[in-house]
Structure 1
Amino acid sequence: MEILIRASQFILSLSLLIVLHELGHFIPAKLFKTRVEKFYLFFDYKFSILKKKVGETVYGIGWIPLGGYVKIAGMIDESMDKEQLKQPIQPWEFRAKPAWQRLIIMLGGVFVNFVLGIFIYIMLMWAYGEQFLPNENVKDGVWVQDSLAVNLGLQTGDKILSVDGESVKQFSSLSLEFVNGDKYQIERNGQIIDKKIPTNFISQLMDRGKDAGPFLYPRYPFTIGKISDDSPNVDSKLKVKDILTSVNGESIKYYDEAKTILGKYKGQKVSATVLRGKETKNIDLQITEKGTLGVVFTTVTFKNLEKLGYYQLANNKYSFGEAIPAGLNKAWETLTNYVKQLKKIFNPSTGAYKGLGGFKAIMDIFPNTWSWQAFWEITALLSIMLGFMNLLPIPALDGGHVVFTLWEMITGKKPGDKFLEYAQVTGFIILVALLLFANGNDLYRWIKTL
């Protein structure tokens, strides 16, 4: 059932993005009186799942879910319709239109993607606002218990001040900032320290596996998640959800402090205090020879941590007017972060190419329970990504057509049909290779989990 919910969100989001992107080409083409022969969701090689001709355009749904397209008369595109290009140029054809009109038609899809992403972010800010743990409010520093964080040179209690000279707004975005960054600055025991992020950091991050969780955590209180059956405290007054606050008079605020203090009393009986709801309870506990209580630690939600006085969350609500700049800023952050990640991918030494994923990787971004907020957040992200990807100067993409059209506008020389045909084939081969590599990564990661 979970996979069906994920798949449904993925297909709905993908279909929405494809249709609106192609509509971005379709509308200016019609405005400039250019004939659009086909408008398709997914590709229809040999046959269509559904199709209907309305006027001069065939609207349909193909059976290959790798995107979609509009077939514009007189244009060298993925349809590779060579026969049409052999005929005399007709006034309704793309190739008959002035360069500035062709440029607008080609940029239409990208324009829609960016506008859609911005619009969704604005509406999300207006409808939901933002709730997060500000990084500056993690006043006692981070909890380091992952080998990756240790390899970075971090220690429990370090306060992360900035990445690449920019302060980090949200604690939850630290992982992404380290992925995109080259250096960071911390405060340790009152001393400011500058450190470099290893070139192969992303490779190390990928090698942990997708289920490894974040490599950095805020410091948590010692909350009892479960009392083991073989625990010496199974019959004590200790209960699940109790928060350990002291042992033999030594105050404990965080779990990492508790481990150190418990280690002092191996094999001994101690007097402890726990927080149970709003009450403080005094109980006797037995420490094992390993310096543990024989319990399983559990984390606490940020909301509960706020109630306990550990962290102050930011809860930003926006009027519609305030949501506009907030949404624009979110869209810009999304775009710049994506560009940074692409730069890392094209640098083999970073190992970022390991994280390149295909359709399964995109589907896995969606939650396994239906959430409209999560759905729209991911759709906005994908829309911005799709817009930028289509701007890349690869011949089979919109960006390739834009480059050739700009060349024509600047030089006054239009590339020949044969050149455009070969360029389209080359671009298509590049895209297929990238598609195979990305989905091959998905397959490789899936095989590793078996």
Structure 2
Amino acid sequence: MELAIKIFQFILSISILVILHELGHFIPAKLFKTKVEKFYLFFDPWFSVVKKKIGETEYGIGWLPFGGYVKIAGMVDESMDTEQLKQPAQPWEFRAKPAWQRLIIMMGGVTVNFFLAWLIYSCLSFFNGETYTDLTKFKEGIGVTEAGRKMGFQNGDKIISVDGKPAERLENTSINILFSDQVTVLRGGKEVTFKVNENGVADVIKQREAKLYITPRFPMVIDSLASPSAKASGLEKGDKVVSINGTPTSYFDEASSVLNQNKGKTVSIEVLRNGKPETLSASVDKNGKLGVGVNQKGIANVITDKKYSFGEAIPRGLTRTIEALTMQVKQFKIMFNSKIQGYKNVGGPIAIVKSMPVDRDANGGFVINWAAFWSFTAMFSIWLAFLNLIPIPGLDGGHVIFTLYEMIVGKPVPQKVLENAQMIGVIFLLGLMLLIFGSDIFKIFTGKL
């Protein structure tokens, strides 16, 4: 049932985005009296699931759910149908239209994607507000993992800015740091600026802990005893751990680090109980845990719930859209960093389906988290806009580049060049699709997905 809901969400999101993206091409094409031969949701090699011709356009649904397309007469596209191009251009064909009209038609899809994301983010800000972890409220600073320390952080740091921009939200900042050059922190009462170590970034990405390498720092106070060995150790609710094996561990991140170094061993723990020191022995399991629950009430104090009026939600939606677009550019850049090797963590449709958000209702059943669904759809809309703007033949960006060339130079790119470029682009995109699918399948069989 959970998988079915995730697949449904993925197909619904893709369907909304594809239909609206293709409408972005379809509507200006019709306005400029250009013949649109096909309008398809999903691809239809060899056969269609459903199709119906209305007027001059065939509308249909393909069986391959990796996008969609509009087939515009007189245009070199992914169908590679060049027979009509051997005849003189007709007034209703794409190639017969002025360059500025062709540019509008080609930019229509990404424009719709951008404004759709803006609309969704504005609605989410207005109806749901935003809940985030406020870095400015981290009175004890941050706790970091080993990968975080390799990046240059230290436990207790208070993050001030990333690449000169103030750091406020942990959720955004922890991701932005991975694509940044330098970070400024307050350390020991002094501002320290350091260059982010790419080896640490590589470890964070490899270990898939992009949101976990930085956490709020809170005291190691026992809240519950969850295992027989914890109860046998003499630990009690309310005990504040001061040190483990003589190493100071007043904070959870410090205690967690020492426990990970003593997996499967017995350790000496000093605690404060009602203000008095006690020394106990406790067993650490194979996962580096004591089998206790920790009081995390302090974390609630760093959570901010922000509401937006209608007038505030619109500019906030635009800001969130631009932030999402900037993130896509940064992620694309990091894919080709030889040291970080972000391409190894690229996920395809299978990975996306698996990551789709699902909640449980009061009866334990699986339900859709609509706020998370729309947030994903907005992010995916921006991703599609960015992807389509990449100047690769076969994508909108490739057509835009050729059209801009024509507008600047004053003459069109030779038809044969367009056809060859389109063929190269299609082969490249098919190869990329196979690589991404292969990556998903490999991760499934190796247990990494």
Aligned counterparts of 1:357 and 1:173: Cα–Cα separation in 2: 21
Instruction: Give the equivalent residue in structure 2 for 1:343.
Output: 333
Aligned to 1:405: 403
- The amino acid that maps onto 1:355 is N
8 Å contact 1:233–1:285 — kept in the other structure?
no
Contact 2:135 2:302 in 1 (8 A): no
| Cα separation, 2, equivalents of 1:300 and 1:126 | 33
Contact 1:259 1:291 in 2 (8 A): no
Match of 1:214 in 2: 212
Residue by residue, what CA displacement relative to the aligned partner does 1:211-247 show, whole Å, maximum 9, x if unpaired? 79611211234343543213354788x4xxx454588
Task: Give the direction of change, closer, same or farther, for the CA distance of 1:284–1:407 in structure 2 (3 Å limit).
Answer: closer
- Tell me the equivalent position of 2:79: 79
Could you give the per-residue CA deviations for residues 86-108 of structure 1, whole angstroms, max 9, x where no partner exists?
A: 22321111111111111111110
Shift of 1:253: 7.2
- Aligned-partner residue type, residue 319 of structure 2: N
- Pairs within 5 Å for 1:213-232: 214-221=212-219, 222-232=221-231
Give the alignment of 1:374-385 within 5 angstroms: 374-385=372-383
The count of corresponding residues between Structure 1 and Structure 2 is 426
Using the alignment, how far apart are the partners of 1:223 and 1:128 within structure 2? 34
- Separation in 2, partners of 1:426, 1:261: 55
2:155 maps to: 156
Superposition deviation, residue 52 in structure 1: 0.8
Maintained 8 Å contact 2:36/2:70: yes
1:436 to 423, 428, 434: 434
Alpha carbons 1:179, 1:201 under 8 Å: kept: no
Note the alpha carbon deviations across 1:118-150, whole angstroms, 9 max, x for none: 111111100111111211111211113x22122
Residue 321 of structure 1: how far off its partner (Å)? 0.8
Q: Distance in 1 between matches of 2:338 and 2:91?
A: 48
Partner of 1:276: none
Task: Find the residue that maps to 2:198 and give its secondary structure.
Answer: coil
Q: CA distance change for structure 1 residues 441 and 167 in 2, over 3 Å: closer, same or farther?
A: farther
Paired residue type of 1:190: G
Looking at structure 2, the residues matched to 138 and 149 of structure 1 have their Cα atoms a distance apart, in angstroms, of 17
CA contact (8 A) 1:267 1:291 kept: no
Asked whether the 8 Å contact 1:40–1:62 carries over to 2, the reply is yes
Q: Aligned AA for 1:296? A: G
Q: What residue is the counterpart of 2:252 in the other structure?
A: 255
Other-structure match for 2:344? 354
State the alpha-carbon separation in 2 of the partners of residues 381 and 362 from structure 1. 12
Mapped pair 1:197 → 2:192: no
RMSD: 3.1
Q: Secondary structure at the match of 1:231?
A: helix
Alpha-carbon spacing, 1:82–1:299, altered in 2? closer, same or farther (3 Å): farther
Native 8 Å contact 1:224 1:296 kept in 2: no
User: What are structure 1's unaligned runs of at least 5 residues?
Assistant: 274-281
Look up the SS of the partner of 1:195 in the other structure: strand
2:152/2:195 contact within 8 Å kept: no
**Aligned to 1:414, which of 384, 409, 412?**
412
Q: CA deviation at 1:40?
A: 0.3
Corresponding position of 1:448: 446
Amino acid of the structure 1 residue aligned with 2:349: F
Deviation above 6 Å: which 4+ runs of structure 1? 257-263, 266-271, 282-286
Find the counterpart in structure 1 of residue 291 from structure 2. 296
SS at match of 1:89: coil
CA distance in 1 between partners of 2:93 and 2:210 (Å): 54
Match of 2:246? none
Distance 1:290 1:59, change over 3 A: closer
What's the CA shift for 1:447?
2.6
Report the equivalent of 2:303: 313
Structure 2, unaligned runs of 5 or more = 244-248, 360-367
Distance in 1 between the 2:349 and 2:213 partners?
A: 25
Name 1:103's counterpart in structure 2. 103
1:372 matched to 2:367? The reply is no
Q: Tell me the SS of whatever aligns to 2:123.
A: helix
CA offsets 1:358-398 (integer angstroms, 9 cap, x no match): 11232233213310000010110010111111111111111
C-alpha contact (below 8 Å) 1:232/1:286 kept by paired residues: no
Distance 1:168 1:139 in 2: 15
SS at match of 2:223: strand
Whole-Å separation in 2 of the counterparts to 1:353 and 1:104: 33
Aligned to 1:185: 184
CA contact (8 A) 1:148 1:215 kept: yes
- Whole-angstrom distance in 1 between the partners of 2:442 and 2:100: 45
Check whether the contact 2:226–2:293 (CA below 8 A) recurs between aligned residues: no
Change in CA separation of 1:72 and 1:225 when aligned onto 2, cut-off 3 Å: farther
- Contact 2:393-2:422 within 8 A present in 1 as well: yes
Read off the aligned partner of 2:132 and give its amino acid letter: F
1:168: Cα distance to partner?
Answer: 1.5
Q: Percent identity at matched positions?
A: 46
Q: Is the 8 A contact 1:76 1:420 kept in 2?
A: yes
| 1:46 matched to 2:46 | yes
Structure 1 residue 271: Cα displacement: 6.8
Q: Do the aligned residues in 1 keep the contact of 2:240 with 2:271 (CA within 8 Å)?
A: no
**Quick one: structure 1 residues 211 and 334, their matched pair in 2 at CA, closer, same or farther if it must change by over 3 Å?**
closer
Partner Cα distance (1:110, 1:62) in 2: 22
Aligned to 2:365: none
Kept after mapping to 2: 8 A contact 1:227/1:233: no
Classify 1:260/1:417 alpha carbon distance in 2 versus 1 (closer, same or farther; 3 Å): closer
CA spacing shift, 1:151–1:211, aligned 2, 3 Å: closer
Which residue of structure 2 lines up, in the alignment, with residue 123 of structure 1?
123
1:439 aligned partner, one-letter code: F
Counterpart residue identity of residue 66, structure 1: F
**C-alpha distance in 2, partners of 1:74/1:271?**
80
Residue of structure 2 in register with 1:28 after alignment: 28
